[in-house]
Structures are given as structure tokens and as C-alpha cells.
Amino acid sequence: MTSIKLARSDLFKNQAYVNGRWQNAPAAATFAVHDPATGELLAEVADLDAAATTQAVAAARQAFAHWSSITAKQRSEYLLAWYQLIMQHSDDLAMLITREQGKPLAEAKGEISYAASFVQWFAEEAKRAYGELIPSPWPGSRIQVLRQPIGVVASITPWNFPAAMITRKATPALAAGCPVVIKPSEETPLTALALAVLAEQAGLPAGVFNIVTSNQAAAVGEVLSTHPDVAMLSFTGSTAVGKLLMKQCASTVKKSAMELGGNAPFIVFDDADLDAAVDGLMQSKFRNTGQTCVCANRIFVQDAVYDNFANKLQARVSELKHGQGTADNVTLGPLINRGGLDKVSRLVDAAVQAGAECRWRADINGLDQQRYYPATLLTNVQTGMDITKEEIFGPVAALIRFSNEQEVIRAANDTRAGLAAYFYARDIGRIWRVQEALEYGIVGVNAGLFSTEVAPFGGVKESGHGREGSHHGMEEFLEIKYVLHAGLGE
């Protein structure tokens, strides 16, 4: 029996949700879900295989005809009901996130609000999938453009935002008229299943919203990326896995949307408001204990303000509090697993051996150091070190000194990643030059947080393709059909 205390106990599920039914895996196979802060076993969850995933696709395909034919207003009403239930039970959903993912409870509550914002937004956008009439070059004819749902949509979602990454993908698809089959991370399936409880309560018809829980990522991913009845695959995760899934999607010429790895530069120019820049960096770097794809990874600070900025940053980093996400005033939780912690340790150790200075490191005595990594401030980091080439995915700020605008733009763009970038400056000419020169899908100018349901989120280069959020996010799930009406003359 789990120790997760919920006001509504039926939000805790350990069965998959397929075709409107809660089901076990074949042969009752399960996988374990643990609290990353303590190692406590939270649940044994149904471990669906490739055959069961195929059945989920079939259920979604069967549901497509009805779901795509009801009015946009009806789909909107289903989604609004779901939104209201998510907000009504936000405390329980946040507790599930904290216990299975590790982020502090305040952050988890923020994630639920963020997740719900996509449900509300796309409930509204459902009614705005407009077509077009184009002036025809031929007498007695009309050119019509229809936007129609693409079909069954498969989504593979990550562990770092177990609620928001589901709603950001699923709700535009649902709004467009597409049933969804979702494979949540095996690290964090409980939040996904709780969302399914609320979707069912909101009245979504059987087969429209399916959650395939599984520890067999490769087998399930192959089904979702190759099955001919899946029209589109949306994936958030590593670049390596994204490339593999794209290859598999090619076998059926399947549309895909990929939100892959990042290597975000955070640039502080000598005319920046340093206090504001420190605030922005704290938001970007240490949110979710540094485990986001848009975390500041390389922090470039101009010569004239480098020392002052480092001093201000050290003072702020020293105020962070590590601990279990359910404890009071905690700002940094555990890393998701031992593999993540080992990666951060490797990158920091290699940087220090190569000449970087460990200027400050938190004291985490009393915590399990196989689960927590101390907040760390590195200075004298040089471009070319591994820590500037790989996503850190941990609470480590790596400061790099630079001298001029041209140098830092070259360094910032010297990566195959192109998801997010940040910079702080006040000269208006510099702001326009730099924002246009940075090769990234998202740029925060004097801002450390930019995620919102009303703006398009996505990257360029090897950070992926496609956009989530905004009206552009719904366009991903709509096909364009050109219809020529002839013979309309007298």
C-alpha cells in the first residue's frame, strides 16, 4: 500500500487506462515506481507490452470516427470539464508529482497550474480550426481549404514534467479531433494515470484518451512509431532517442513532432541589470533542481561584470535548501535517479580537473548523497569542456568569461542544440542584434522564464521540430485539404 496521502484516494491508480477501461498487463506484469527522495516503493504499475500497445492503438483508431465527427464546441466542453477537475484536484496531483518525481511541492503545484492552462487554452482553440476560401482563377469555381484532424496521435512523455508534458501534447490533439495514446515515463506514471481518472470523469469517450504504462520503452516506442494506424508521433526526450523514433516513423511516412535536448546559453552583457540577471538565472538554472530541457547550461558573463555577477550569484545560490519535496521551504529536491546524479558528478569532476574552480558547493550532510547533488557554482569554465557540451541536468551553474558580442554569439551558437537561449542587456541595438543572431527556437531577453500556453514552444537544429502551445500547437494535428468546386456557373 502506498504512503501517498491524497484527499481523493481514487486518483491513485496502478493499472493502465485503455479504451475506457482500467486494465492489468498481460500475465499481470508490473514495474516498480519509487520515490527518488527516499527510495520508497510507491507502486507496482502495469507493464504493458507491444501487443497491448497495439490494442490501445486499435481502440484509438476505432474512437476516431466519432471523436472527429462531433462538433468542435462539444470537444471544447469535454476539455473544459477536464480542466475544471484538474484545478479542483490540483493539491492531490501536485503531491503525486512530488512523490514520484521529487520536485518541491510548491513547484509541483505550479506545474499543475501550467498543465491545466493548456487544457483550458486548447478547449478554446478547438472552436477556431478555421478553413479558407481562396479566389479561384477559373470561372464558375471555388477553391476551399479544409483543416481536418490528422488521426490517431501517439505521445511519449518525459519524467521531468509528468503532468504538463501530457497536457501540452494531448489537449491540442484532442481539440483537433484526434484520439491519443500516451506512453508516460516509467519513472512517473502515477501522475498520468491520475489525469486519466479525471479525463474519464469529464466524460471523454472510450478510446479517446489512453495511457499505456510500460517499462518496455523500446518495444512500445517501436509500435507507436511504426504502426500504420498512428498518424503522428509527438516525443519529448533525448536527441538520441528522438533520432531513432524519427527513423522508425519514416517506415510509414508518419508525421512527427520532436522536442529534444538543449544546451541553453545564458548571456550577461556588461550593460545588464545584474540583479535582474541573477534573478533570471536562479529561475532558469535551479528550477526542478536543474532538470529541465531549457535550463541555463552555459552561463556567459562579460569581463567587466564577471566578478560582481559571480559574487551576487553565490549569495543567492547559498540560500537554496535541499531536501524532500514535501518538507517546508525546500527549493531543491533529489535528482531523478542514480544515473542522473552520476552524470552531473562526472561533468563537474572533469571540469575541475581541467581547470575550473569550484567556487561554492552546498553542504548536504544529512541527506542521501546517492540521491541529492549539492548546488554548485563553478567559475573559470572554458568552452570545450564536457560540461559546456552536454546537458548538465542538475543544480550546477557553470560560468564562462567572454570579452565581446561577436565572440559570445559564436560560442553560444557552437552547438547542435537549438532549443532555448537567454540574455540580459539594456542597449536596444544590442538586443535586436543578439536576438536575431542566436540560433534557437526560443529566446528570453531579460527573462529567465518564458513558458506559457499562449506562445509556441520548440527548437531548431537537433533540438527538434514542431511547436507546442499557442495556435501553432494545434496546427500540428490538422491536415490541410484542398477542395476545388467546379461547374458552379450558370
* DSSP labels, 264-324: EEEEE-TTS-HHHHHHHHHHHHHGGGG-STTSEEEEEEEHHHHHHHHHHHHHHHTT--BS-
- Active-site option among 178, 249, 293, 295: 293
Helix (H, G, I), strand (E, B) or coil at 225: helix
Q: Would you say 383 and 414 are in contact if contact means Cβ atoms under 8 Å apart? A: yes
- Active-site option among 125, 259, 405, 453: 259
Q: How far is the C-alpha of 115 from the C-alpha of 213, rounded, in Å?
A: 20
- Concerning whether 259 is annotated as a catalytic residue, the answer is yes
* DSSP labels, 415-468: SS--SEEEEE---HHHHHHHHHHS--SEEEES-S----TTS-B--SGGGEE--B
Amino acid, res. 486: A
- Concerning whether 475 is annotated as a catalytic residue, the answer is no
Q: How far is the C-alpha of 242 from the C-alpha of 232, rounded, in Å?
A: 14
Non-local CB neighbours of 349 within 8 Å, separated by 6+ positions: none
| φ and ψ of 267, to 5 deg | -110, 130
Q: At what angle do helices 90-101 and 72-88 cross, to 10 degrees?
A: 70
Residues designated as active site:
259, 293
